[in-house]
Amino acid sequence: MPKRKNTFSSWRRGLTQRAVHVGWAWVQRTGSVTAEHPGRYRFGTMGTGTRLAFPLGTVFGEPWIHLGSYCIIGEQVTLTAGLMPDLDLGPDPILRIGDGVVLGRGSHVIADTTVTIGNDCYFGPYVYVTSTNHSYDDPHQPIGKQWPRMEPVEIGPGCWIGTGAVILPGARIGRNVVVAAGAVVRGAVPDHCVVAGAPARVVRRWTPADGWQPPLRTPAPVPIPDGVTPEQLSALSGLDEETAARLAELDEEAAAGLAELEPGS
């Protein structure tokens, strides 16, 4: 015979599960760090609208970390300035993060010397940025005991850093650069390009004279026009391909008709 379902036990489990989810959401909201509610953290600067999601990763050297406005720092993101906590790193900031930066869950930004991230950079999850690398000059000493090498890192504004990318010491990434997922970047990267691989190499680049080379394989996305409501978007999503194509043709015909009516046409 099939087992009888314990209705009370099922109801109690559902209620407990809901309570856990509500409680965890409260913990996340309360534990997040903002300029208005910094908790124990004392960053050098922290702009309006910036939030570090809870639970945080490792964070130390906050007086030498400057965060811009409207940044989103995901869960378990590590932000450090200096080799270890409680060091005096001098009068200048070590880690500078611009306005509108998004750091994905589980990312690490390790700034033993200066690291600069420009405005409007977006990082996928588990990106690793470091200004320090191990050295292995002495073959008789454990590598972990040898003094590391340090070089400043600079990431220009408007970049997209893919999931699992590694940005090594000395990297200087230009403006509006795409770093592919899993890429390992070192050295200088020019503006307006796509880099991929380990070590990362330029696989596509834009110049005013030639545009994107190699050419893009798909057309650019068309932004949603101003004034379009969520209800209209929902209605459009239900159209089949044939109807959508016919509407596009009608739109083109209407635009052509308006052009003919314009004075001087």
Q: Could you give the residue numbers annotated as active site?
A: 134
Tokens of 138: 């002495």
How buried is residue 257: exposed, middle or buried, by Cβ count under 10 Å (0-12/13-18/19+)? Answer: exposed
Block residue for tokens 């057309």: 219
Tokens of 100: 């509108």
The H or E element that residue 260 is part of is: helix 241-261
How buried is residue 93: exposed, middle or buried, by Cβ count under 10 Å (0-12/13-18/19+)? Answer: buried
Distance of alpha carbon 106 from alpha carbon 129, whole angstroms: 12
Phi, psi of 15 (to 5 degrees): -65, -40
Taking a C-beta distance cutoff of 8 angstroms, is the pair 31, 55 a contact?
A: yes
Distance of alpha carbon 44 from alpha carbon 208, whole angstroms: 39
